[in-house]
Amino acid sequence: MSEPDRTPAPLELLECLQTIFPTFGDAELLAEIEAGHVELHGVMRHFTDYFGALGHTFTKGQLAALGRFLDQAVVQGGKLENAVSTCFLEHLHQIKCRGFMLPFVSQKTKERIWS
């Protein structure tokens, strides 16, 4: 018997990220998600832009919580892992956040981060 799909809906992903980063997302993003125009990859692309602009301001607690979320997504696999890897992890070096994010993720997650 296969496990049930644990892929979050885009709104659930937004809410999960907002528990760590309360200032992430705005009414426009929420409306786009509710209208079905933004999927998991879109949420993660928005998050990458947000994190790139503000990453240096976050607390160690926030970075640790994000690291746990990223590790869980990588282990879970599927659509969430693909969105996290292709829209966030692979771009950490481009948004100049790779160095301060690396201490907060597992080796398996580090393997998803391109140098």
| Half-sphere exposure (Cβ direction) of 67: Cα atoms closer than 13 Å | 19
Query: Does residue 10 or residue 4 have the better pLDDT?
Result: 10
> Nearest-CA neighbor of 44 among 13, 71, 78?
13
Quick check: 5 pLDDT over 90?
Answer: no
Q: How far is CA 49 from CA 6, 28, 41, 45, in A?
A: 26, 15, 13, 6
Chain-centroid distance, C-alpha 58: 15
pLDDT value at residue 6: 81
* Mean pLDDT estimate for the chain: 93
List the domain boundaries for the chain. Answer: 10-110
pLDDT tens digits for range 14-53: 999 999 999 999 999 999 999 999 999 999 999 999 999 9
**CA dihedral (95, 100, 105, 111) positive or negative:** positive
List the single range of 31-35, 38-42, 64-68, 108-112 with lowest mean pLDDT. Answer: 108-112
How far, in Å, CA of 101 to CA of 113, rounded? 10
Range 61-70 average pLDDT? 98
How far, in Å, CA of 45 to CA of 32, rounded? 13
